[in-house]
Amino acid sequence: MGLRAAQYVRMSTDLQRYSTENQAAAIAAYAARHNLTIVRTYADEGRSGLQINGRQGLLELIDDVRAGRADFDRVLVCDVSRWGRFQDTDESAYYEYICKDAGIRVEYCAEEFENDGSLISTIIKSLKRAMAAEYSRELSTKVFAGQCRMVSLGFWHGGPPTYGLRRELVDEHGCSRGFLAPGERKYLQTDRVLLRPGAPQEVELVRHVFHQFAIARESETKIAGELNLRGITKPARTAMENQGGPQPS
């Protein structure tokens, strides 16, 4: 039997359905070529690589290494960006050094260089870390600009609509694809979402609340009390609606 190895896989959003499977396949092929046996998997699914907070898989890996619980000699990662897109490249190096200091080598299976500590390897790895960080910075800027443009065109940015509204899905030509039920999302990049008036009774209630607050000058507490007496409560959100939006990978 060869050396024992752990693998670390990460994808940034829940929509990257096959990302971790693809990473694991590349890692398995690398392990087979280098006579390595994968004995443990650490995974962060739907987690951004910008910081370590919230990345339970990487936190557990580092904790096991620090505590001497690691029963492996290698950590296999698909590429430098999967380890993380830390904005401070020293942070990425720091977590790798924790492993190295414990006698555990981090190997990037899909990279062209061998992480052997040589000068060339160190230079290329540093460039890769900087490129991974810069990619996220550029992506954040582009995503924000794109979101601003979509909002200026009248499309809904995302999240559950407020009371009295519902979401209509339209294609790239503006033709309706129907209304989205609570918790449903669009799956085609070219589709857009528009807000439309909801059920007539909800629209009438919103108008009533606005009149009571803006015209009759009633307090929010009094209006809420009236709604409670009428048995009108806030609609519950689904688990999917409570999820945050996508983050840079």
Quick one: pLDDT band at residue 109, thresholds 50, 70, 90? very high
Give dist(CA 82, CA 100) in Å, integer. 18
CATH architecture of 3-140: 3-Layer(aba) Sandwich (3.40)
Tell me which of 174 and 17 has the higher pLDDT. 174
Say what the pLDDT of residue 249 is: 47
Q: What stretches of the chain adopt beta strand conformation (E)?
A: 3-10, 36-44, 74-77, 105-108, 165-170, 176-179, 192-197
pTM of the entire structure? Answer: 0.59
Domain ranges, ordered by start, for the chain: 3-140, 165-229
46-101 pLDDT, tens digit per residue, is: 888 888 998 999 999 999 999 999 999 999 999 999 999 898 899 999 999 999 99
151-182 pLDDT, tens digit per residue, is: 888 888 878 888 889 999 999 888 999 999 88
> Is the pLDDT score of 245 beyond 60?
no
